Amino acid sequence: MGTYDVIMTCRNSEKDIRAAILSLINQSVKPEYVIVIDDGSTDNTPAILKEINSRNKNIYIITNPNSGYDIGRVVFNWNKAIKLAKELNLPRTDYHMISSDDAQYELLYAEKIIKYMDSDPLVAIASGEYNNDTSSKPRGSGRFVRNSFFVSVLGYYPERIGYESAILFIALKNRLKYVVIHEARYIHARPLGSNHHFHDWGQSMRSLGYHPLFAFSRFVKYLLLGKPIGRLGALRMFYYYLSYKPKAEGYDSMYDSELRKFVKLTQLKRMKGYIGLGHSA
């Protein structure tokens, strides 16, 4: 069975971090190692991490200075973890898993994901399902990424808004696919989006070149259903999609024109498929 490592970010997570890490290291198929990036916690999180680390030598801790909360720093921290693994010459794994400081996974979560991905080499990215929701795209937490794809095509995560969606489209562009394995379940101890207002969802849709009709249909769906981000979250998402003004470079800049064109064409095919004029991507 394939091997995997885990990257987890946290900040001020004293209530949840212990359970989150234990749910990983107690998996039926255990990770080769776990890298936790503490993004400047000011509560008891550092002490908890130190205690867990003293009992588990395959857990590595990166500690950042306190620069305040910033959701945009998550991807930079992921890349820090990848760089640390290279510097320490940690074992190369078949997959890496992205987790968060409040995610708790069922005992067989990793086993179910890896078995599926092992059986189909065209699956580049996969995740289980959060709570009782259903999704067509892999979640952020609980996401497994095939390292042969990641290393050869990317190497590091794009340090740009929309990075989670970007690698899904990059996988499709490379004739690979992503899946959600609904039988693999996990929970979030905190409500989804409790630390932000989903402005980054709308901004990333703009940065990736989402087709306007596709963005509007997503807004309507979330508004009517009231989930997964709530009706207020849906309104914020669509407002920031319309009002976002990307910068010329850096985290808040647009993706290259080739990827944005691919995103629009992919979404156009899906919309045609919905109304019986073609086949969904």
Encode pLDDT of 71-81 as tens digits.
889 999 999 99
| 194 part of a folded domain | no
Note the pLDDT of residue 197: 62
Number of domains in the chain: 2
Q: For residue 165, what are the domain limits? A: 4-188
Q: What value does the mean pLDDT take over residues 56-79?
A: 91
CB neighbour list of residue 220: distance below 8 Å, 6 or more residues apart: none
Same domain for 122 and 47?
A: yes
Same domain for 101 and 63?
A: yes
Token readout for 79 is: 């890349």
3-class secondary-structure state, position 244: coil
Encode pLDDT of 149-182 as tens digits.
999 999 999 999 999 999 999 999 999 999 999 9
Same domain for 60 and 130?
A: yes
| 280 part of a folded domain | no
Note the pLDDT of residue 279: 39
Same domain for 46 and 156?
A: yes
Give the pLDDT band of residue 281 (cuts 50, 70, 90). Answer: very low
* Cα 154–Cα 160–Cα 161 angle in degrees, nearest 5: 125
Which residues are registered as beta bridge partners of 59? 34
Same domain for 21 and 112?
A: yes
Residue identified by tokens 């995103």 is 263
Same domain for 102 and 205?
A: no
Which run of H or of E encompasses 130?
strand 123-130
- Across 33-47, 90-104, 217-231, least confident range: 217-231
